[in-house]
A and B are shown apart, each in its own frame.
Chain A
Amino acid sequence: MTSAGRPWIPRLIGPALILLPLLFIQPKTYLTLTISGLAMGMLLFLVASGFSLIFGFMDVLNFAHGAFFAWGAYVGYTAMLWINKWSGWATSDSFFLNMIIFLLALMAAGLSVAVLGIIIERLVIRRVYGNHLFQIFITVGTMIVLEELIRITWGPDDEVMSVPQSFIGSWDLFDVVISKYPMIAIVIGLLIYGAMHLILKKTKLGMIVRAGVEKPEMVQAMGHNIYRYFTGVFAAGSALAAIGGGMWATFVKSIHPAMGGEVIIFALVIAIIGGLGSMTGSVVGALIVGLSYNYVAYLIPKGSLGITMILLIVVLLIKPTGLFSEGT
């Protein structure tokens, strides 16, 4: 945490900032905005956490991460169409069947992009460990190739993402409009965060990865083949980006080949704000960015990206290594 003497002060800043927009926004609107902000934050967390972990553990700046996100969205979209053609679960009224097809599509996206990630890591990334300049070149090249492959495979136009029947619409709680899908996204995001947290904190694998973030040479010296872990972490990070992509597509109900480039900016900012390689940092950073983006978009429609940049600058000035840079 930030100041060792009074650890409660930084913890108060967060809630204070979240409640600050209440001065300008009606409470009902505020709640709606908060929910969509939390949902956006959770989805951004899925993208940023993989990016952050890959950088923290492997010291690789992966600009192709956004392309994995876009691939996840497209694979999820295709899986959704195919499974629905075969079963009709997406168009049925049962929430249970809707959920199953949605999770199947996400799994298809995650698994296929994990395989893609393994191929990319073996073929491309392995060449440039330890050389930041070449990493940037080669991952930017990979980003272009993957994005163009989407255009070759699926065509260059926008597609409409099919959303399961019961995810559409909203609940009305005491006059507060709560959209259904953002709530589902928040729950799924929290479950994934919980699972990651448990894996990193409670298992031997997680311990090795956390040690690798601190000192990779030491892990290697203790007799673990660190390159195998590199491949694994890269695949996991790619899969997380892909799941984020599938969920994001359902959130905005459309997909297009360049969607990765828009999200990678958020992932960069969140990773820097939270501290590279830190899970907690990713979650906090993503929620801050998601919430502030939504509040500002409501108050000043054109200032929404500006607030993200202001956050980045402020954090870099106050704590240049990121908010949670020590350990995960």
Chain B
Amino acid sequence: MEKIHLTPVQEYRLRERAERTSGSVFYLKLFLLAFFLSVPFLFHSFEILDVILKIIVFSALVASYDILIGYTGIASLGHTLYFGIGAYLVGIFMGKFGLSSYGHLALAVLIGVVLSGVLSVFIGFFSLRIRTIFFAMVTLAFLEFVFILSSQLRFLTGGDDGLSFKLPGILAIDYSLGRFLGLEVTGRIISYYLILLVALILFLLMLRFVHSPFGRVLKSIRDNEQRSIALGYKTYLFHIMASSFASCVASVAGGCFAIWVGFVSPESTLGVPIMLDVLLMVIVGGMGTLYGGIFGASFLMVMRAFLPKVQGLVAALLPGVPLAVRLSERWLFYFGLLFILIVYFFPKGLVGTAQEFVHKKRNEEIG
């Protein structure tokens, strides 16, 4: 029996495949999925369900942003623009035109995806051509522009007040399917599982995307652009394609967000603060990991849910110290510090650092 010689890439792929369904990391992923599936049965309070669902939606959004920033190495500062487009299309279809049927909902999400893809190709076309750094500036300017547009075009978007809408059939809040395992299956719960399913599909798509040959080319461009150009890859086209794929995913995530909240406004879907949140989630989770998005989103969402309580505590403990109250009110200040400190001490983020640690151990075992 003669030995088949494999190229290093093939060997790497085989090893990756073997590890995919074994080891502690795989069980961790399964546990996460099981946890998300059982949340409605574990916690009956709506507040917790709301936080967990936002974690799910934002994990998908952050992972799509990670494709840009961690895998492709191009920085966008307007990624939530597509999130907003996805959310607004659902809002406009359901709330403005009152077209509430399942077909229209699917159509709204689809149009959102197409629009986002086209727009990101358009933006990428004239800002990625020269230097990728322009991309960061131009996308930020566009985000600001669309934000103002959405608050001005009252006839379409409802202006600053936004749009509220009711969802069709089994997704509506007042719908009830009856009881199951001691839990009343309302429209909320059904929406939760629908969105979880969509997010899971998006995640698998993105994983497929970054592990595909196309994704490998993206990484090679990120790591050594000159060499990739010399190998004959048109980096510009790869950047645009990666950007439009990420935008489409973000748009679907935006649609899910709108379905859950039942309300869209410029502030809640297109504001720069949301972009900053996503940026922070990517940094906390780590770039170039995809799974980092889950940790980053969990960290920030849980913080946001608990911080008002901390504020009340400080105000109760130190009633006579206005500066302390002021300092506790301004929790964004600490987020800003976090940005700086993470870049200082954990440039790879939480998941990135953990992955590095695992790889080190593994290499020791092999070597």
Contacts and interface: CB of A to CB of B under 8 A. Distances in A.
B126 A317 contact: yes
B69 A140 contact: no
A127 B330 contact: no
Contacts of A61: 133, 136-137
A302 B152 contact: yes
Interface string A122-138: 00100110001110111
B343 A144 contact: no
Given A140-B279, A268-B140, A316 B126 contact: yes
Query: Ordered nearest first, which 4 A-B pairs have the shortest CB separation?
Result: A141-B339, A144-B336, A148-B333, A145-B336
On chain B, which size bracket covers the interface? 35 or more
B145 A306 contact: yes
B207 to A, nearest CB: 22
Interface in A102-159: 124, 127-128, 132-134, 136-138, 140-145, 147-149, 151-152
A143 B148 CA distance: 21
Contact of A148 (B133, B136, B332, B347): B332
Interface string B257-287: 0000000000000001000100100010001
Interface in A140-195: 140-145, 147-149, 151-152
Nearest to A264: B140
Given A309-B141, A316-B138, A317-B126, A148 B148 contact: no
B335 A305 contact: no
A149 B145 CA distance: 27
B129 interface: yes
A137 B283 contact: yes
B344 interface: yes
B276 A144 contact: yes
A133 B69 contact: yes
Contacts of B138: 272, 312, 316
19 contacts: A61-B136, A128-B343, A132-B75, A133-B75, A134-B347, A136-B75, A136-B136, A138-B339, A141-B336, A141-B337, A141-B343, A142-B340, A144-B276, A268-B137, A268-B141, A302-B152, A305-B148, A309-B145, A316-B126
Interface in A291-319: 302, 305-306, 308-309, 312-313, 316-317
Contact of A144 (B141, B145, B332): B332
Interface of A: 61, 124, 127-128, 132-134, 136-138, 140-145, 147-149, 151-152, 261, 265, 268-269, 271-272, 302, 305-306, 308-309, 312-313, 316-317, 320-321
Given A302-B152, A320-B129, A152 B279 contact: no
Nearest to B279: A140
B60 interface: no
Contacts of B330: 148, 151-152
B160 interface: no
B144 A143 contact: no
Contact of B344 (A127, A317, A321): A127
A137 B339 contact: yes
B25 interface: no
B338 interface: yes
A272 B73 contact: no
Interface in B336-365: 336-340, 342-344, 347
B75 A269 contact: no
A40 to B, nearest CB: 17
A265 B140 contact: yes
A130 to B, nearest CB: 12
A66 B221 CA distance: 32
A265 B144 contact: yes
Contacts of B337: 141, 145
Interface string B50-94: 000000000000000000010001010100000000000000000
Interface string B125-139: 011011011101110
B333 A137 contact: no
Contacts of A308: 141, 145
Interface in B114-134: 126-127, 129-130, 132-134
A324 B156 CA distance: 40
Nearest to A266: B141
Given A152-B330, A305-B144, 13 more contacts: A61-B133, A132-B132, A133-B287, A134-B347, A137-B343, A144-B332, A152-B326, A269-B141, A272-B134, A306-B145, A308-B145, A309-B142, A320-B130
A140 B126 contact: no
Contacts of B32: none
Contacts of A272: 134, 137-138
Contacts of A132: 75, 132-133, 136
Nearest to A143: B336
Contacts of B347: 134
A16 B53 CA distance: 55
B73 to A, nearest CB: 7
A269 to B, nearest CB: 6
A138 B337 CA distance: 9
B336 A148 contact: yes
Given A312-B138, A316-B127, A138 B340 contact: yes
Contacts of A261: 272
Which of B132, B149, B330 is most buried by chain A, counting CB atoms within 10 A of its CB? B330
B77 to A, nearest CB: 7
B340 A320 contact: no
